[in-house]
């Protein structure tokens, strides 16, 4: 079996794949070093590192409609996530504060909408920021996992194109921005970089969407909205250690297999990505216990460490997890130092 071509999605022809083919050691090195012969061939990539092309296309249309020529857009599922990104960017460079604005997109309730769409009530929070600030915003996207998913972007983009998604905070939109208009294929041929080297001029939105829908439905990756709450409950119960086969009645969870007293599915909180769960756990601790340093013992995945270093007052990093590191950590505790939390990862980072 011949390897997939450089930059192809894994599995092949999968619109929302999170893996990409880097078939040689040289191509892996080229990717890590940002070499054009690799990154310009990438059709997709891991979502926190590669902004999906459907998200890029949506962002490009939003800038065309509501932004300025020197701006780029970054998309988030909630206003709170968007505001946290703005705080991250302006903490790094305060001068950007007056150059960033937010567009909140929500359903146009004056239109005739299906009951299901009303219940879903999709929203998108958009940050319009100077192109020079985009790399810093991209760091936030990578570290936290707070960015919008490609499926959500694809769905909301279709609503925007149909005139069903509108800005709810028009007072914050620049007077220089043009009104939304259907422009045809040229909307994906705008000059500029959306945070990834791949040129959006080669991205056929309609063709990609049609192919994606077929594959998603053919292989059962779509879930009827009627089953969403049951699916979430099943995931929570799996994590809590109590999953029953018959989810129709959703009986009250009385016990769990983890041996922890009073642990129930309501104690489990779901996040869209693993790193987003780590980020929000750290954020919750900062809110609950105040601004204190954390301790990272052992060599973690890179963004775990970045979260602890960049959000809050920092961390003590004991990367080798050696006996000497443990002695140093114990000495800090003996001399009165107190910390927000101890972060460890098991298994450890295989790159160590």
Cis peptide before 216 (omega within 30 of 0): no
Q: What pLDDT does 278 receive?
A: 96
Residue 77 within a domain: yes
Q: Which DSSP string corresponds to 151-205?
A: HHHHHHHHHHHTT-EEES-GGGS-TTSPPP---GGGGG--SS--SSSS-GGG--H
Q: Are residues 60 and 95 in the same domain?
A: yes
Q: How many domains does the chain have?
A: 4
Q: What pLDDT does 167 receive?
A: 94
Q: Are residues 76 and 33 in the same domain?
A: no
Residue 67 within a domain: yes
Q: What pLDDT does 105 receive?
A: 96
Q: Are residues 134 and 60 in the same domain?
A: yes
Q: What pLDDT does 216 receive?
A: 56
Q: Are residues 101 and 125 in the same domain?
A: yes
Q: What pLDDT does 40 receive?
A: 93
Q: What pLDDT does 188 receive?
A: 27
Q: Are residues 250 and 278 in the same domain?
A: no
Q: Are residues 89 and 136 in the same domain?
A: yes
The Cα-based distances of 332 to 157, 285, 314, 329, 344 in angstroms read 52, 20, 15, 5, 17
Edge-to-edge order in the sheet of strand 124-130: 71-76, 124-130, 101-107, 165-167
Domain's final residue, options 142, 169, 196: 169
Phi/psi region, residue 51 (left: phi>0; alpha: psi -120 to 50; beta: rest), is beta
Report how far residue 155's alpha carbon sits from residue 135's, in angstroms, rounded to the nearest whole number.
26
**Pair 276, 325: CB distance under 8 Å:** no
Listed in sequence order, the residues at least 6 apart from 177 whose beta carbon sits closer than 8 Å to its beta carbon are 65, 66, 67, 68
Q: What pLDDT does 237 receive?
A: 86
**Domain assignment of residue 238, given as a range:** 230-267
Residue 203 within a domain: no
What pLDDT tens digit does each residue of the chain (352 aa) get? 677 999 999 988 888 989 999 999 999 999 999 999 999 999 999 999 999 999 999 999 999 999 999 999 999 999 999 999 999 999 999 999 999 999 999 999 999 998 888 888 899 999 999 999 999 999 999 999 999 999 999 999 999 999 999 999 743 444 333 333 333 333 223 333 344 434 444 455 555 555 555 555 554 556 676 777 888 888 888 888 764 444 445 555 555 555 667 778 888 999 998 999 999 999 999 999 999 999 999 999 999 999 999 999 999 999 999 999 999 999 999 999 999 999 998 776 555 5
Q: What pLDDT does 1 receive?
A: 62
Domain's final residue, options 146, 169, 192: 169
Report the residue count for the chain.
352
pTM surpassing 0.85? no
Q: What pLDDT does 297 receive?
A: 96
Q: What pLDDT does 6 receive?
A: 95
Q: Are residues 157 and 141 in the same domain?
A: yes
How far is CA 250 from its chain centroid? 30
Residue 93 within a domain: yes
Q: Are residues 94 and 163 in the same domain?
A: yes
Residue 205 within a domain: no
Q: What pLDDT does 348 receive?
A: 65
Selection from 200, 165, 169 nearest residue 180 by Cα: 165
Domain's final residue, options 214, 243, 267: 267
* Tokens (6 digits) for 103: 């567009």
Selection from 278, 284, 287, 289 nearest residue 340 by Cα: 289
Residue 219 within a domain: no
Q: Are residues 247 and 334 in the same domain?
A: no
Task: Give first-to-last CA distance, the chain, whole Å.
Answer: 32
Q: Are residues 154 and 123 in the same domain?
A: yes
Q: What pLDDT does 174 receive?
A: 40
Residue 222 within a domain: no
Residue 237 within a domain: yes
């Amino acid at each position: 079996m011949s390897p997939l071509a450089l930059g192809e999605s894994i599995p092949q022809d999968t619109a929302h794949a999170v893996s990409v083919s880097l078939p040689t050691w040289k191509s892996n090195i080229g990717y890590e070093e940002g070499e054009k012969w690799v990154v310009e061939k990438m059709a997709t990539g891991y979502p926190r590192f590669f902004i999906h092309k459907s998200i890029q296309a949506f962002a490009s249309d939003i800038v065309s409609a509501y932004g300025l020529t020197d701006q780029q857009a970054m998309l988030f599922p909630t206003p709170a996530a968007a505001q946290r990104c703005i705080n991250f960017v302006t903490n790094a460079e305060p001068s950007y504060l007056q150059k960033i604005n937010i567009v909140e997109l929500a359903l146009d309730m004056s239109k005739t909408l299906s009951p299901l769409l009303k219940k879903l009530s999709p929203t998108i929070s958009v940050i319009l920021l100077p192109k020079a600030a985009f790399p810093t915003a991209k760091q936030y996207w990578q570290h936290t996992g707070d960015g919008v998913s490609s499926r959500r972007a694809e769905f909301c983009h279709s609503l925007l194109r149909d005139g069903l998604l509108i800005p709810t905070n028009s007072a914050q939109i620049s007077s220089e921005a043009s009104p939304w208009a259907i422009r045809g294929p040229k909307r994906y041929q705008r000059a500029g970089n959306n945070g990834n080297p791949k040129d959006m001029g080669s991205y056929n939105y309609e063709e990609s969407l049609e192919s994606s829908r077929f594959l998603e439905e053919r292989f059962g990756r779509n879930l009827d909205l009627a089953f969403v709450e049951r699916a979430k409950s099943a995931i929570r119960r799996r994590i809590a250690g109590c999953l029953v086969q018959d989810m129709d009645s959703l009986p009250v969870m009385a016990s769990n297999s983890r041996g922890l007293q009073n642990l129930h599915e309501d104690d489990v909180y779901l996040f869209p990505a693993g790193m987003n769960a780590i980020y929000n756990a750290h954020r919750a601790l900062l809110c609950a216990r105040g601004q204190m340093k954390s301790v990272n013992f052992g060599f973690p995945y890179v963004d775990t460490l970045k979260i602890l270093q960049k959000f809050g007052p920092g961390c003590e990093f004991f990367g080798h997890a050696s006996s000497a590191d443990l002695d140093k950590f114990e000495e800090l505790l003996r001399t009165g130092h107190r910390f927000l939390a101890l972060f460890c990862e098991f298994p450890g980072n295989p790159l160590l």
